[in-house]
Copies of this chain bind each other. A is one copy, B any other.
Amino acid sequence: MIFKKKLERIIDKNNSLLCVGLDPEMEKIPQHLKKLKYPFFEFNKEIVDATYDLVCAYKPNIAFYESLGLKGLEQLKMTAHYLRKKYPEIPIVVDAKRGDIGNTMNHYAKSIFEYWKFDAVTVHPFLGLDSLKPFFQYKDKLIIMLLKFSNPDSKMFMDLKTGSDKFYLTVAKTIAKWPYGNIGIMAGATYPQELRQLRNIFPDNIFLSPGLGAQGGEIKQAVGAGVDAHGKGIMFNSSRAVIYASKGKDFSKIAREKAKEFRNEINKYR
């Protein structure tokens, strides 16, 4: 099934635009999980089982697993396997932010879609079209272009003026002309004005908008700026503010409450 359809179904089923980031860190997960053999997997499993009916997607950022090396990636594999088995209707977006020349991107694409079997991925578009074609050929998958980041210093280069537009907008307007049906857009929820500009350039594309919660995005403005004409077409990601809402044994219960709160708050402004 193409990504867009899969996402639409779960958005409707769960009445949710909330994507939960599965970014486990040894320093932040509850104490009682740390002594287990697979603490990241157990943490993710509990979070997922407590929130599966409140989300439209899960988004593991691969860096958090890579930091433990093979042992971390093994737990990402267990998480992905668990999700696909138990909740096959929920798309998994891997936040990998890959960006290299074409021959190398072939290998990253093969890794992400054939080995890991993820549904969507984030990539750097700045190396140009030929670097992205290896990803675009996976037509069922969503290839999400990094355009507007949520960190303060990203302005340093992304906001440089290129003609009358900022750099990232010029990149966006070029991408908007590319003839591929599986282009997604990433734009931080912390910059609603820029999110709106990008939505105007890409009225029908799927957006991924991180930064809700811990990074301080204001929900009302972000939702107004980011949804498509049908009040859908976007995944608002929250990681830390949901998964680390409590560090006690009740962490998944509190994560559920937090996820419900976010989902409902987002729905108010759709």
Contact = CB atoms under 8 A, between A and B. Distances in A.
Interface string A107-130: 110110001100000001111111
A106 B105 CA distance: 24
Interface in A23-66: 25, 61, 63-64, 66
A3 B64 CA distance: 26
A127 B150 CA distance: 9
Given A63-B104, A99-B97, A162-B162, A68 B115 contact: yes
A66 B107 contact: yes
A235 to B, nearest CB: 17
A100 interface: yes
Contact of A63 (B74, B111, B128, B156): B111
B110 A129 contact: no
A153 B130 contact: yes
Contacts of A104: 61, 63-64, 95
A161 interface: yes
Contact of A129 (B106, B153, B162, B163): B153
A193 interface: no
A152 interface: yes
A81 interface: no
A201 interface: no
Interface stretch (A167-175, A244-252, A256-264): A167-175
